[in-house]
């Protein structure tokens, strides 16, 4: 994937695991894909998260759906699972293995890294990240150990510093505030709740794509 293709793939980045929805996860993902999500991350975390074979089975089902629709399938944290499934990429945080070690394990799969400061961003880029996740942009109830809300300030700061790596904002983002995140310099938005808890995941994904695209055209 070229960097231009990656930027486009990051526009509406849907993240979900079974704890994030009361609906069957496969059904939610199918609707989200129909609505226009551009990339998907399997993030099986939190209370009641599946483990072992149940986790792997869900991952395989979600991956098949992504494959059938040409949507990149990314695995959060679990590098062994990503390698075993031959996922399209992995996403890691600051608590996980160092970026360069993960890069060595996954070869040329996509590698996303969550960062919260300029220093973390520079290190992640130097060690081989393909894109950065910056957050929480807005208050989120989804991640219990989320850092302080930082609005779009870090996104703007990295762009001011001339860093052109693909960036997605994360945390409390929905169609009503997604445009602001892209206007600040992000290539796209990552969301859990805005799609996984929506009455219509399809409509939620459509609205997010429209909000992101309207800013991309302006920019």
- Footprint of ligand 3NM on residues 23-62 (CB under 6 A)? none
79 appears as a binding residue in the annotation: no
Active site residue 43: yes
Which of the following is catalytic: 18, 103, 109, 114?
A: 114
Can 143 be counted among the known catalytic residues? yes
- 141 annotated as belonging to a binding site for a ligand: yes
- Taking the C-alpha atoms of residue 195 and residue 175, their distance in angstroms, rounded to an integer, is 10
Return the residues of window 129-188 that contact ligand 3NM according to CB under 6 A.
133, 135-136, 140, 142-143, 146-147, 170-173
Beta carbon of residue 42, minimum distance to ligand 3NM (angstroms, whole number): 12
Q: How far apart are CA 155 and CA 163, in angstroms?
A: 10
C-alpha distances in angstroms, 102 versus 61, 89, 93, 122?
A: 24, 11, 11, 16
Which CB sits closer to ligand 3NM, 4 or 199? 199
CA distance 94 to 76: 12
Consult the annotation and say whether 153 binds a ligand: no
| 86 annotated to bind ligand | no
Closest CB to ligand 3NM: residue number: 135
CB of 2 to ligand 3NM, least distance (A): 26
Residues in contact with 208: Cβ distance below 8 Å, sequence separation at least 6, in sequence order: 12, 36, 37, 174, 175, 178, 189, 191, 194, 195
* Cα 184 from chain centre: 18
Residue 136 or 166: the one with the smaller Cβ distance to ligand 3NM is 136
Q: How crowded is residue 5: how many other Cβ atoms within 10 Å of its Cβ? A: 11
One of 8, 56, 105, 143 is an active-site residue; which one? 143
Hey, what are 149's tokens? Answer: 């809300």
Residue 8 binding ligand 3NM, by CB under 6 A:
no
- Taking the least distance from each CB to ligand 3NM, the nearer of 191 and 205 is 191
Q: Which is nearer to ligand 3NM, 47 or 108 (CB)?
A: 47
- Exposed/middle/buried for 219, CB within 10 Å: 0-12, 13-18, 19+? exposed
Report in angstroms how near the CB of residue 90 gets to ligand 3NM at its nearest.
14
Contact at 8 Å (CB) between 1 and 39? no
Q: How far is the CB of 65 from ligand 3NM (least distance, A)?
A: 20
- Angle, in degrees to the nearest 10, between helices 118-126 and 153-160: 50
Query: What residues act catalytically?
Result: 43, 114, 143
Residues in contact with ligand 3NM by the rule CB under 6 A: 114, 133, 135-136, 140, 142-143, 146-147, 170-173, 191-194
């Amino acid at each position: 994937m070229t960097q231009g293709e990656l930027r486009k793939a990051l526009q509406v980045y849907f993240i979900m695991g079974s704890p994030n929805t009361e609906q069957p996860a496969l059904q939610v993902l199918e609707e989200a894909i129909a609505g226009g999500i551009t990339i998907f991350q399997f993030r099986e975390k939190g209370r009641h998260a599946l483990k072992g074979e149940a986790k792997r089975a869900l991952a395989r089902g979600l991956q098949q759906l992504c494959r059938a629709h040409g949507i990149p399938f990314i695995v959060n944290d679990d590098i062994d699972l990503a390698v075993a499934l031959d996922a399209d990429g992995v996403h890691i945080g600051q608590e996980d293995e160092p970026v360069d070690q993960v890069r060595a394990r996954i070869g040329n799969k996509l590698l996303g890294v969550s960062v919260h400061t300029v220093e973390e961003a520079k290190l992640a880029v130097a060690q081989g990240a393909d894109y950065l996740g910056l957050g929480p942009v807005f208050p989120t109830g989804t991640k219990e150990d989320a850092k302080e809300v930082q609005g779009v300030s870090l996104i703007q700061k990295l762009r001011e510093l001339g860093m052109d790596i693909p960036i997605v904002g994360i945390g409390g983002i929905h169609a009503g505030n997604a445009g602001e995140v892209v206007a600040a310099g992000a290539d796209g938005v990552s969301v859990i709740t805005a799609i996984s808890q929506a009455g219509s995941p399809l409509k939620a994904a459509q609205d997010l794509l429209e909000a992101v695209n309207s800013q991309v055209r302006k920019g």
